[in-house]
Amino acid sequence: MTGRPRTVSPMRYVTALTGMYGDTRLEVSDPDSAAKYVFDGLRGDALVVAFPSLGPTHAMDPGRLDEHGRLTPEATSKLIGDAHAQVSVANGRHILWACARAEDAERLQELVSGPLADLRTAGGIVGIEVAHLPVNLLRRQWLERAERGQWTPPLGQLPEPEDE
């Protein structure tokens, strides 16, 4: 594909990742405090945070990247705060940051390996895994399930395939 890939609808990407559609989300509460965090759903046993794009997702969205393609200081600060909140309420459960784009997964992996490395080693906490899960892979997995007669979300709710 030439040029920048098209932007994937955040709701459709979440559907492709988790099978949850519409604006359904998963609120997780810390049993020892009043802390809560809203995840995008589950994938296997992992709590999911979806990143269809770190760039702008619509005309009014400035995105999380600067003009050089690096995370802005504001985005970095917010992601670090969110990560700590997620790990706090996850109570040892696995967290998956899923990215539609490989370059976004690389940027988030740098953050997890650098400023957030303490979350991977602190007192038995599993931490956060970053994975590149492109739209075409997710679509193919749901279509294979449908062929086997297994449950799927409405296939019309999945994002359109991207050019390869």
In the block, residue with structure tokens 């409405």: 154
Q: Which pTM value belongs to this model?
A: 0.88
The two structure tokens encoding residue 22: 């519409």
User: Residue 74 CB: number of other CB atoms within 10 A?
Assistant: 11
Q: Residue 17, exposed/middle/buried by CB under 10 A (0-12, 13-18, 19+)? A: buried
Can you state the percent helix, strand and coil of the chain, rounding each to 5? 40, 20, 45
The two structure tokens encoding residue 73: 């200081």
Q: pLDDT tens for residues 19-32? A: 988 788 999 998 88
Compute the distance between CA of residue 102 and CA of residue 3 in angstroms, rounded to an integer.
14
Q: pLDDT tens for residues 33-51? A: 889 999 999 999 999 999 9
Q: pLDDT tens for residues 118-138? A: 776 554 445 899 999 999 999
| Helical packing angle, 73-90 and 102-113, nearest 10° | 70
| Helical packing angle, 10-18 and 135-147, nearest 10° | 50
